[in-house]
Amino acid sequence: MSSVAATPELITRKGHERLSAELARLRGTRPHGDGDALDRRIAELEVTLAHVQIAPPPQLGVAGIGQPIRIRIGGGGSRDCRLVGAAEADPAIGDISVVSPIGGALVGRRAGDVVEVLTPGGVRAVELISVG
């Protein structure tokens, strides 16, 4: 049996607040049909919040958890994103997990860096246009 404790997953303060608010809201909800789905989501949020730690503020100019960034993938246009912990990732709104292929490749990088990233769609060049 290992005596090494698991490292807590990092999350932004904003992400922690959002998940905590969702948990509080769901705890106050009375099911209108499928109470099992509600119970599962509450349990999922409780486990997630018990195993995360709020990330320290990111270093200025360096891509890290909580940093807004602007990227260009391949020859496409630029897009604004934010690097976040896995528990709060939502690519639909531009929140990219630092454990995803692109997010992980950008952590610790500075504006102007270009990295080759193996994605499900193949190898892509990702340019970090700006940080912060």
CA dist 63 and 118 (Å) reads 19
User: Taking the chain (132 residues) in consecutive chunks of 10 residues, what is each chunk's mean pLDDT?
Assistant: 61 94 88 76 93 91 95 92 93 92 95 94 94 93
Got the DSSP string for 54-82?
A: EPPPPPTTS--TT-EEEEEETTS-EEEEE
Q: What is the dihedral of CA 107, 109, 112, 113, to 10 degrees?
A: -90
Query: Any idea what the Cα angle at residue 36 is, between residues 30 and 40, rounded to 5°?
Result: 100
| Amino acid 32: pLDDT | 61
Residue type, 9: E
| Amino acid 3: pLDDT | 44
| Amino acid 48: pLDDT | 92
128 Cβ neighbours under 8 A, 6+ residues apart = 63, 69, 70, 71, 106, 109, 110, 111, 112, 113, 114, 115
Cα-to-chain-centroid distance, residue 31: 29
Question: Taking the alpha carbons of 37, 40, 46, 47 in that order, is the dihedral positive or negative?
Answer: negative
Both structure tokens of 95? 């929140």
Does the structural domain 68-131 have CATH classification 3.10.50.30?
A: yes
Domain ranges of the chain: 9-54, 68-131
| Amino acid 2: pLDDT | 42
